Amino acid sequence: MASKSKSKPASDAAPPSLDYTFKLFATDHRVLAQNGDGKLIDIGAIEHREKTGFVVSLDVDELESEPASSEEKALQNIATQITFDYLDGLFTSENVTEFHGKLADLPHMELTLDETLPRSLTDRTPPHLF
């Protein structure tokens, strides 16, 4: 007897999303972000606090990371608080930052964030009207 696989109805499935990759860099007490198009912006500060470690403080919304033992770990800590909409908004509003040197030589990390597509682009069902 062949078994039938059960598939979830479309309404129970997660909405489609697009993945975007960004990079965060620590340099000269600042945090830079780079999007997939190569645009580089300044988004905050990184400092070494005596006895606690490295902390990242973003300029918008006063987001701050937990103290970490290295700059890379501090970047990873702040990345858990960043959403696609937050970072995309910064890339829309901030001016390009100039950096002279090799970004790959800086402490850095890569993060992938999901942009959830609006329902109108996914299932074409009208919103519930009251």
Predicted local distance difference test score (pLDDT) of residue 8: 47
Predicted local distance difference test score (pLDDT) of residue 78: 97
Sheet of strand 53-58, all strands in order from the earlier edge strand to the far edge: 53-58, 40-49, 30-34, 17-27, 108-116
Q: pTM of the entire structure?
A: 0.77
Predicted local distance difference test score (pLDDT) of residue 69: 96
Predicted local distance difference test score (pLDDT) of residue 68: 97
How many CB atoms sit inside 10 A of residue 75's CB? 25
Predicted local distance difference test score (pLDDT) of residue 122: 58
pLDDT digit string (tens) for 13-67? 555 568 899 999 999 999 999 999 999 999 999 999 998 999 999 999 989 999 9
